[in-house]
Amino acid sequence: MVENPLYAGIDQLARCSGSPGIREDEEGRDAFQKDYARLLHAPAFRRLQGKTQLFPGAESDFFRNRLTHSLEVAQIAAGIAGRLNVAAVPEAFAGATINTKLVEFAALAHDLGHPPFGHNGEHALDDLMREHGGFEGNAQTLRILAAVERKLVRVQGEGTVSSHGLDLTHRSLAAVLKYDRLIPAVRGPDDDFEKGYYGTEAKLVTEIKKRVAPGLAEDASFKTIECAIMDIADDIAYSTYDLEDSLHAGFVSPLSLANSLANDAVVQAEVLRKTNKALKEATHVEVISVGELLGVIVEVFGIELPPTVIEVLAREEKAFVDHEPLKANLEGWMRDQALTTNPLLRTQLTAERVGRLIGAVELVPNKTFPQLSSVTMNRQAMLQVEVLKHLNYELVIRSPRLAVVEHRGRDLVTTLFRTLLESRGALLPDDWRMRYTEAAAIGITEANRLVCDYVACMTDRYAAELHARLFGDGASIFKPL
């Protein structure tokens, strides 16, 4: 492991408690396999099965939840790493290979910080924490692994402690550090949502950087190759499997996607803006027309356009809102519902699509800091991912039917947080009550963070059940909190 330039330096294999990554009596597995096992057995990982991915799990046992989504991201990430280990990494770094178990760890852990009720729950907690360090799912993931989860750890000379989260290696924690930015301690009501890490983990992040990339300039960007692979695998999963769920639910069809791109000016503008932003950051080349976006639907789903429409696509560089022949054709095609009713066709589509996208991932080597190498996709593959991801967001996540559910969830999260904070720990389970007492003794910000941690850990069902016990007909003194 030490000889591999991607993992050189024993310091990054040391754990947060100071103990070594692996003991001498643990032959047969490396430090990353041990971290993987600790994650797999953690309560926070199991709770992902009770957190919504796109559609509420109570609606159908078909739809993905955060746990099954994370498993799919891990499979895609491992596939990317395995392919790069054959096609690119050894040649770039003198025989080095990417540790696939660490890549899988990053993928399985990447959504741990998501609160109940998805992004609305996330924004509700952020609003409540604006004067106390904010809230953000990726920042919460790092905090869960480093502090919120508790594991008994034997530290030489200190006895048994449980103050280092899962006591993971610094390199494993680096693999989930997706946004290398400190979230401000205080933000005003009109300030934008911030992605990054909390001030409570600022010292830890500094230590992670020092151990994983010693000598890296303070203003240099920091993102390990495992984190980069996880990030791109997450995008592939979003743009493929969330879309499959939307097709199954009947929220969209291939032709409704095309119809919205061609005839809905609001959807056009948002998808074009977001896709251009991602393409510009990765390839420095923007989309030139809405016609190119519509071409993605043609390519992915095999829609055949009449010759007259193809001619229009070739010459137009604007929206097609006023092009009546295209509008008429698309409205006719809307009757084609094959992918919403045939599960075999959907499975074939997603399997082939994921395989092609994995094959489109390319290594971007960093010769000075190999561990900070990155990955990218060719322009056409990235265009497919971005268009479908943002279309699904505009047409499904922002649809009135889901908006009703998410609005209810936002109010529920807000009410729970305020009630638990006002109770000064009295409504918390015994173990959390002890932690609240310790936090409150330090200050109000720490008390707010403790309550925020507790609410963020909840599954959708538990949050709804606790709300019912506090304010509705679900009260029972015999059922523990």
For residue 321, what pLDDT is reported?
45
How long a stretch of residues is the chain? 481
b/e 89-110 (16+ beta carbons within 10 angstroms → b): beebbeebbbbbbbbbbbbbbb
What is the DSSP secondary-structure string of 367-426?
SS-GGG-EEEE-HHHHHHHHHHHHHHIIIIITSHHHHHHHHHHHHHHHHHHHHHHHTTTT
Q: 1 falls in which pLDDT band (50, 70, 90)?
A: very low
Mean pLDDT, range 211-229, rounded to an integer:
95
DSSP state of 55: S
Mean pLDDT, rounded, of the chain: 87
Q: Tell me the per-residue pLDDT of 387-420, one tens digit each, with 9 for 90 and over.
A: 999 998 888 887 877 777 777 889 999 999 999 9
Q: Taking Cα atoms as reference points, which of 246, 243, 253 lies closest to residue 334?
A: 253
Q: Tell me the per-residue pLDDT of 126-157, one tens digit each, with 9 for 90 and over.
A: 999 999 999 999 999 999 999 999 888 776 66
Q: Which pTM value belongs to this model? A: 0.89
Amino acid at 278: A
Distance of CA 167 to the CA centre of its chain: 22
pLDDT of 320 strictly over 50:
no
Amino acid at 344: L
Alpha-carbon span 115 to 125, nearest angstrom: 8
Q: Tell me the per-residue pLDDT of 191-212, one tens digit each, with 9 for 90 and over.
A: 999 999 999 999 999 999 999 9
Q: Tell me the per-residue pLDDT of 83-101, one tens digit each, with 9 for 90 and over.
A: 999 988 888 888 899 999 9
Q: Tell me the per-residue pLDDT of 465-474, one tens digit each, with 9 for 90 and over.
A: 999 999 876 5
DSSP state of 144: I
**Contacts (Cβ under 8 Å, ≥6 apart) of 381:** 356, 357, 360
Q: 2 falls in which pLDDT band (50, 70, 90)?
A: very low
Q: 308 falls in which pLDDT band (50, 70, 90)?
A: low
DSSP state of 183: P
